[in-house]
Structure 1
């Protein structure tokens, strides 16, 4: 049995990550020729090209795209295995790339990251805050904080706790336009939409009745926070999670409606790429985030 060329696979993964032979060579600390020879060697072993090479650009072939995730996992598991074998007294060190939703990130994750860095001065964190769906494998993230009802996935997920969505409006809007008592009536109202949530608003009644409504109105935004000023000024009805609207509900600037109807379940999850092993620094941050983000979830 011929053993796989693990060095070539790892170098291929680095070229994909850095989008160039020279970038991979600098990151690894070898010559560009060494990187090129390793990729060529792997291509010869596989009997297929991994890259389209031109004088200006390096792009993955379809075969290369199909194998890039495998290469990334090989490299990640090798790094994790080496870290796991190190002296347990050695402090975790290195870079961790994290992505999280914008509002949850600003309200909770950024403070936790700051405290974690105080405790682990040898660790660096690259934090990306965005409400857009991120492919954490393709974009090289170690950890993703996600709010979703997750479908089946090859990613590893740790569920931290539920997130409750509320249909809300300002008292002034309801006084002027009436209070809907059935989801179907939302079609007669101005609804402010969260553009990263595709599809209709879906409701389930106490008797199991399901209703879907295409909400439309004067404003759509890719951040839930961006909808709050318009909602407070009585410009329409919104549907937002508890961690965004709890303060307004407590103050009475927004009030919940359609409380006899349930919206689809959702939860905060910590996601990591597939693979049994994780670097010690990633495991340390995962544990820290899990322990602290659970506190913001209702029991």
Structure 2
């Protein structure tokens, strides 16, 4: 029996809480996973999992064994990666989770650049606006914009992006340009769906205020919101990385350019480990270098 494979099945069973989930992840059957864990229990002479119809939980011995099993699996992967990196460029699959808009507008192009530079690398870019736990979902790197950062994961700051009030030139011609924040109440303000309040906090060099801006149009897609601004539907706060190009080209204009909205902060989140595999390390370095300039 493959001891490393059995240890991997046990670790994932604890992390996912289900032998069936491990079986789906390993593209095998639940009885096969159960046999792997049972063999491991016989091999070390202790019961590791408490099984029920709903989920599996580690026994006291299993909880103690879990940390050591994770370390052994990580050390094996690191050893393989170290040998590989010494004889050839990084290779293998790197799984990255990111928000939809960031992936479609920016990350996709960056991933293609990385693949062009490193022909032995593979990238799986998973675009979802929900937070993807890198441990539970076997993702190497998660890009998180805003939100609470889990205390048990490593989080490295990627960038802090100011948010600008923007509109299309056509909208400004039709509706005029607001001169002060209070003027926004007379305009069509577009916002991301999900918040029930209508307050918008704006800041300039020497002042900060909150304006109440009702919105007739809310949408839970950052790209759809940007498209609405481009179409001339109204004014919206947008992060600089989404609109800098359009502002340079003149297809969008800033209104109240002295004022900005709450900044977006992006972090790179990943599971703690002593050493990242070379394939993950090289992608992380490219992300850190590139995203900070957006």
Same-fold call, TM cutoff 0.5: yes
Structure 2 residue aligned with 1:83, among 73, 77, 80? 80
The structural deviation recorded for 1:279 is 1.7
For normalisation by structure 2, the TM-score amounts to 0.73
Structure 1 residue aligned with 2:118, among 98, 117, 120? 120
The structural deviation recorded for 1:257 is 1.8
After superposition, the C-alpha distances for 1:128-177 in whole angstroms (9 at most, x for unaligned) are: 12333333332221112334487574332333433221111234434544
Q: Does the Cα contact within 8 Å between 2:99 and 2:128 map onto a contact in 1? A: yes
The structural deviation recorded for 1:187 is 4.4
In structure 2, what is the Cα distance between the partners aligned to 1:277 and 1:161? 23
Moved more, 126-135 or 175-184: 175-184
In structure 2, what is the Cα distance between the partners aligned to 1:172 and 1:116? 38
* Runs (5+) with no aligned partner, structure 2: none
* Runs (5+) with no aligned partner, structure 1: none
After superposition, the C-alpha distances for 1:25-70 in whole angstroms (9 at most, x for unaligned) are: 667xx95454240576799656x62x533xxxx6455999xx7x96
In structure 1, what is the Cα distance between the partners aligned to 2:110 and 2:258? 35
- C-alpha RMSD of the superposition: 4.1
Change (3 A) 1:159 1:196: farther
Q: Does the Cα contact within 8 Å between 2:96 and 2:140 map onto a contact in 1? A: yes
The structural deviation recorded for 1:273 is 1.9
Partner of 2:9: 11
The structural deviation recorded for 1:99 is 1.5
In structure 2, what is the Cα distance between the partners aligned to 1:179 and 1:226? 23
Change (3 A) 1:208 1:228: closer
In structure 2, what is the Cα distance between the partners aligned to 1:198 and 1:14? 38
Q: Does the Cα contact within 8 Å between 2:4 and 2:73 map onto a contact in 1? A: no
Q: Does the Cα contact within 8 Å between 2:11 and 2:69 map onto a contact in 1? A: yes
In structure 1, what is the Cα distance between the partners aligned to 2:200 and 2:72? 42
Counterpart secondary structure, 2:216: coil
In structure 2, what is the Cα distance between the partners aligned to 1:247 and 1:12? 49
Partner of 1:207: 206
Change (3 A) 1:292 1:232: closer
Moved more, 30-39 or 281-290: 30-39
Partner of 2:136: 138
Change (3 A) 1:259 1:289: same
